[in-house]
């Protein structure tokens, strides 16, 4: 077994999923484990480290088995809808909002001249 397959096998084992699990089943299982191990909910000293391992395992399986390049896309969309342009929590500019970025750069150039 090569290194990549071994990592995927370990990730599946950590997530408690079978080789035949679908991407929806992987996501559902990850969320169950995240609720159990998230450091805000679990005061065990090992919770933070376990959550990091779960995040890495989830990302590894989603990218390498299901070819989902950004497994966090759903979360990012939710965050943007929830906090969008909030000055403290939100992103002031979406990465793909070229018009706003262009306008900001023009204003910056005007101020510098």
- pLDDT at residue 22, rounded to an integer: 95
Alpha carbon 3 to its chain centroid, in Å, reads: 23
Residues contacting 14, CB < 8 A, separation 6+: 53, 54, 57
CA dihedral for 97, 60, 68, 27, sign (positive or negative): negative
Query: Is the pLDDT confidence value at 110 over 60?
Result: no
Residue with more model confidence, 8 or 112: 8
Q: Is the pTM of this model over 0.85?
A: no
- pLDDT at residue 37, rounded to an integer: 96
3-state helix, strand, coil in the chain (%, to 5): 65, 0, 35
| Residue length of the chain | 113
Which sequence spans correspond to the domains of the chain? 3-112
Q: Does domain 3-112 have CATH number 2.60.40.10?
A: no
The answer to whether the CB of 11 falls within 8 A of the CB of 64 is: no
pLDDT band at 46 (very low <50, low <70, confident <90, very high): very high
């Amino acid at each position: 077994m090569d290194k990549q397959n071994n990592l995927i096998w370990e990730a599946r084992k950590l997530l408690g999923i079978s080789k035949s699990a679908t991407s929806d089943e992987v996501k559902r299982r990850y969320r169950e484990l995240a609720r159990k191990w998230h450091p805000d909910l679990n005061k065990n000293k090992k919770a933070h480290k376990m959550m990091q391992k779960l995040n890495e395992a989830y990302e590894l399986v989603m990218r390498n088995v299901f070819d989902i390049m950004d497994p966090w896309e759903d979360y990012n969309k939710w965050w943007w809808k929830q906090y969008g342009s909030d000055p403290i929590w939100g992103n002031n500019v979406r990465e793909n909002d070229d018009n706003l970025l262009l306008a900001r750069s023009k204003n910056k150039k005007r101020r510098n001249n």
